Amino acid sequence: MTFGARLRQAMDDRGQLCVGIDPHAALLSAWGLGDDAAGLERFSRTVVEALADRVAVLKPQAAFFERFGSRGVAVLEQSVAEARAAGALVVMDAKRGDIGSTMAAYSEAFLAESSPLFSDALTVSPYLGFGSLQPAVDLARKNGCGLFALALTSNPEGASVQRAVGAQGRTVAQSILDQLAAENAGAQPLGSFGAVVGATLSDVDEADLMINGPLLAPGVGAQGATMADIPRVFGAAARNVVPSVSRDVLKHGPSVQALRDAAERFVEEIRAAVPA
């Protein structure tokens, strides 16, 4: 199955929720863990144990693992494998973007079946030109994986680039969304090439979001958006949205049951906001 088909099934079965695995120093401390590789491993294994068999998507933030060097990357490898084995789709939040053979190497790190970091999807940056992502697009298509390209992000600084208007009269973000739509043309039930679009935004043209692909939506919870905002921001595309929540779930650890309860509350909120 393609990533888009597997994601559609997972969201239908488990609800439209992505939980980030973001083991930053303050959160490790709040859990009573050391800011070291041992604390990182305990944190990550607890999140996977609590959530991988019940939420649609887990999204490890690679930077929080990479900061511990090879030991942190080993924990990331373990977390990806265990999460996927338990049935969650893993979106690696690495935001890779480069050109040529370097982009191909980044893609192989996360989208090649032989890699210990093999994930269901990868976040990518298209700001060296959408065409620079072609090695990732090709490998994702070959291996049944997906991509999420940064398009309209929730950070205010992003607008200076993403809202800039090009020579053809389209914003940079609209151009990215249009090219994702082209990659998803004809895909059923959902394309595998998605966009990152912030749930905190208030002026998105929902027509631009009809890309026949998933929309990863950060900003719910700590950044101020709620699940009730999803249909307002995304309109007719709301059913394809994967709201991403990190701190507002993770703050309930290290209790496995408290993590599960927090995730379930968000799942029920998005089901109420976006009926099937």
Look at the alpha carbons of 102, 66, 55, 38 in this order and tell me if their dihedral is positive or negative. positive
How many domains, the chain? 1
Pairing relationship of beta strands 146-152 and 57-60 according to DSSP bridges: unpaired
Answer whether residue 276 is part of any domain.
Answer: no
Task: Give this prediction's pTM.
Answer: 0.97
Answer whether residue 139 is part of any domain.
Answer: yes
Burial of 137 per CB tally in 10 Å (0-12, 13-18, 19+): buried
Burial of 26 per CB tally in 10 Å (0-12, 13-18, 19+): exposed
Answer whether residue 182 is part of any domain.
Answer: yes
* Residues in contact with 238: Cβ distance below 8 Å, sequence separation at least 6, in sequence order: 230, 231, 273, 274
Burial of 44 per CB tally in 10 Å (0-12, 13-18, 19+): buried
Burial of 107 per CB tally in 10 Å (0-12, 13-18, 19+): buried
Tell me the pLDDT of the chain (276 aa) as tens digits. Answer: 999 999 999 999 999 999 999 999 999 999 999 999 999 999 999 999 999 999 999 999 999 999 999 999 999 999 999 999 999 999 999 999 999 999 999 999 999 999 999 999 999 999 999 999 999 999 999 999 999 999 999 898 999 999 999 888 999 999 999 999 999 999 999 999 999 999 999 888 888 999 999 999 998 987 889 999 999 999 999 999 999 999 999 999 999 999 999 999 999 999 999 987
Answer whether residue 274 is part of any domain.
Answer: no
Q: Domain range for residue 154?
A: 3-269
95 is catalytic: yes
Answer whether residue 83 is part of any domain.
Answer: yes
Answer whether residue 275 is part of any domain.
Answer: no
The active-site residue, picked from 59, 95, 142, 251, is 95
The CATH number for 254's domain is: 3.20.20.70
